[in-house]
Amino acid sequence: MNSLVAMALLCCSAQSSELELAEQACDTAIERGNAFLYSRQTKNGGLSLNATPALHDVWANAEANRSWHIATTSIAAMAWMAQPQDDARDLRIARAIDYLCKSPLVKRPDDWDTDNTWAYVYSLCALTRAGNNAYIEKTHRTKMIRQRAQVIMQELYKYQSPMGGWAYYADETKAVTPNWATSFQTAVAVIGLLEAKQLGWSVDEHRLRVAIDTLIHCRLPDGSYTYSVEIIPRVDTGTGIDNVKGGLSRIQSCNYALYLAKQMGYKSPIGHEQIITGLQQLFANHHYLDIARGRPTPHEAYHYNSGYFYFFGHYYAGLLLEMLPKKEAQPFFSPYVNSVVKTQHGDGSMLDFFLDASGKEYGAAFGVAGLCHARNSLK
């Protein structure tokens, strides 16, 4: 009996020391990530706009490049706003938000290319987070933020596909409004719109409701979501993308959007149980994302995983951990921290896909933001 008690105590002690080590690693990675992101913030508040994109850079097109730049600046601002108040950081947040509010709206890069939507969805999310930021409120920026968010939402509505969601290419029709829509970009848009509504900002309720229904439509019986919004959604067999192994990151972003929707009174199938299942699926199949991370060609890994799925999915997994009760979040904390910290470079950056102008920056911003939210789950 005594030996059983001793074993149990030993296990508890091992678990708590593992948790402490993970917390320390998390704190260190956040600090190092912050240092890198600070070093990349320019005088105008934006992060590393590449004025001369390399020929081998993906989409060496000025407006597409500016879309990455605006989205990266937005994610970095969100990463900073997810951290405890700090005077120096507040100044950086304010500069980034000023830049997001004052820079010209990103235009559509090409007839087939609607990557400007990435700038819209992430700047909307950054502005809604800023709407809850004490320093931003104290410095009388709230009105400017709300006005800019309204402009962005109007632009975003113009790109909502008749299928109900958003995507970033329009090759299918080359129409003013694209027909193609994806689950994961729709999820980011839904999060931004829901957070705007929470702040009491004016949101087109019909469009928001349609987008939420579209996400529910994309949800498959195995808990994953189709990549595109399909007329008739179905689970892909074999090495397809529309299943758990090909949708590990989509599960997290879509679950977060639908969980938020449920919290705000919308009909949604996502509660704690589904969040936990989604996180279990992420860590049980994490090797698919590990294999894809760093590969140069989109969708070249198993189940069409791309390198850039990595931090996108981990960021939303961090947000989901924060939504769970401490006891339920705790078992995921160490594997989560490990999966992000192991990617950090010597300079504090993180990289999952080569983008000359913003690859390291968006990686670090997503990584730091995810770690911050995951850390909050222990409080």
Partner 1 sequence: MTTLTQSQHLEMFDARGSLARAEHELNLFNSFGKAETEKSLRLDLLLEQDALDDSTEELEQLKIMYDRNNLADVTAQMVLNRAERNLQRQQISVELAQSEITKWVQLGMARAQADLDYDVTYAKLNIAYLEAEHTSSRVELSAEISDLKLFIAELRADSEDE
Footprint on this chain of partner 1 (rule: CB under 8 A): 160-164, 173, 175-179, 206-207, 210, 213-214, 231-232
DSSP codes joined into one string, 351-374 = -SS--TTTHHHHHHHHHHHHHHHH
Q: Where are the alpha helices (DSSP H) in 82-163?
A: 87-102, 116-130, 134-138, 142-158
DSSP class of residue 111 equals S
Please check whether residue 23 is in contact with residue 376, taking contact to mean a CB–CB distance below 8 angstroms.
no
Q: Nearer to partner 1 by C-beta: 132 or 177?
A: 177
Question: Cβ of residue 353: shortest distance to partner 1, in angstroms?
Answer: 30
Q: What angle do CA 343, 341, 121 make, to 5 degrees?
A: 75
Least spacing, CB of residue 208 vs partner 1, in Å:
12
* CB-nearer residue toward partner 1: 33 or 178: 178
CB of 230 to partner 1, least distance (A): 10
Cβ-based neighbour number of residue 57 at 10 Å:
19
Cα–Cα distance between 339 and 127 in angstroms, integer?
Answer: 28
Q: Which residue, 37 or 121, has its beta carbon nearer to partner 1?
A: 121
At closest approach, how far in Å is the CB of 178 from partner 1? 7
Q: How far is the CB of 23 from partner 1 (least distance, A)?
A: 45
**What DSSP letter does each residue of 251-292 carry, written as one string?**
HHHHHHHHHHHHHTT---S--HHHHHHHHHHHHHTHHHHHHH
CB of 163 to partner 1, least distance (A): 7
Tell me the closest approach of the beta carbon of residue 59 to partner 1, in angstroms: 23
**Cα torsion 76, 312, 28, 375: sign:** positive
How far apart, in whole angstroms, are the C-alpha atoms of residue 38 and residue 124? Answer: 22
Task: Please say which residue, 113 or 213, places its beta carbon nearer to partner 1.
Answer: 213
Buried-exposed string 270-292: b where 16+ CB fall within 10 A, e elsewhere:
beeebbbbbbebbeebbebbeeb
113 burial via Cβ count (<10 Å: 0-12, 13-18, 19+): middle
- 20 versus 172: smaller Cβ distance to partner 1: 172
Q: Give the tokens for residue 51.
A: 């004025």
Q: What's the min distance (Å) between Cβ of 210 and partner 1?
A: 5
Q: Three-state DSSP class for 207?
A: helix
- Which one, 206 or 379, has the nearer CB to partner 1? 206
Nearest-approach distance from CB 232 to partner 1, in angstroms? 6
Q: Please, which residue, 210 or 291, has the CB nearer to partner 1?
A: 210
Report the distance separating Cα 7 and Cα 320, nearest Å: 33
Between residues 164 and 246, which has the closer beta carbon with respect to partner 1?
Answer: 164
**CB closer to partner 1 out of 53 and 192:** 192
| Residues 125/192, Cβ–Cβ less than 8 Å | yes
